[in-house]
């Protein structure tokens, strides 16, 4: 959903059907989403993708100076442990970030809904 559409609905004093559906969904599932495996797996795969990119750069010899330093000062076990740590950090961070963004959206929509309900109707 575009931010402009959300603001337009906010200023009109009503929520769209999509926002109402999100409010109901998040009220029911907010605790389940906090420990959901799907965002964790997405973050984990992005961490592994970064690690795979590093390994590919080292193995192809794309940057020869970095390759020489890596071969002389670093063992492959340390590199694999670093990639695993990076992947788990990215997975945890992505899941937390995703939940926080959904929670912020929920609170903003709830505030807009309460504000529109508390406004007194204008009488001519």
Q: What does pTM read for this prediction?
A: 0.68
Domain layout of the chain by residue ranges: 44-110
The secondary structure of 89-112 as a DSSP string is HHHHHHHHHHHHHHHHHHHHHHHH
What's the pLDDT score for residue 67?
76
pLDDT in tens, the chain (124 residues): 555 555 554 455 567 889 889 999 999 988 888 888 888 899 899 999 999 998 888 788 777 887 787 777 777 888 889 999 999 999 999 999 999 999 999 999 999 888 887 875 655 5
For residue 90, give both structure tokens. 């990215």
Cβ atoms of 116 and 14 closer than 8 Å:
yes
What's the pLDDT score for residue 7?
53
Give the whole-angstrom CA distance, residue 54 versus residue 58: 6
Question: For residue 23, with 0-12 CB atoms within 10 Å meaning exposed, 13-18 middle and 19 or more buried, which class applies?
Answer: middle
């Amino acid at each position: 959903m575009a931010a402009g559409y959300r603001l337009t609905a906010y200023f009109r004093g009503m929520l769209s059907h999509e926002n109402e559906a999100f409010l109901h969904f998040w009220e029911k599932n907010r605790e389940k989403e906090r420990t959901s495996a799907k965002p964790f797996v997405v973050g984990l795969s992005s961490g592994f993708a970064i690690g795979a990119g590093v390994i590919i750069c080292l193995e192809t010899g794309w940057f020869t100076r970095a390759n020489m330093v890596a071969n002389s000062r670093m063992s492959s076990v340390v590199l694999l442990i670093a990639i695993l740590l990076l992947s788990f950090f990215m997975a945890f961070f992505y899941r937390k970030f995703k939940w926080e963004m959904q929670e912020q959206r929920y609170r903003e929509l709830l505030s807009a809904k309460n504000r529109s309900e508390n406004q007194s109707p204008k009488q001519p």
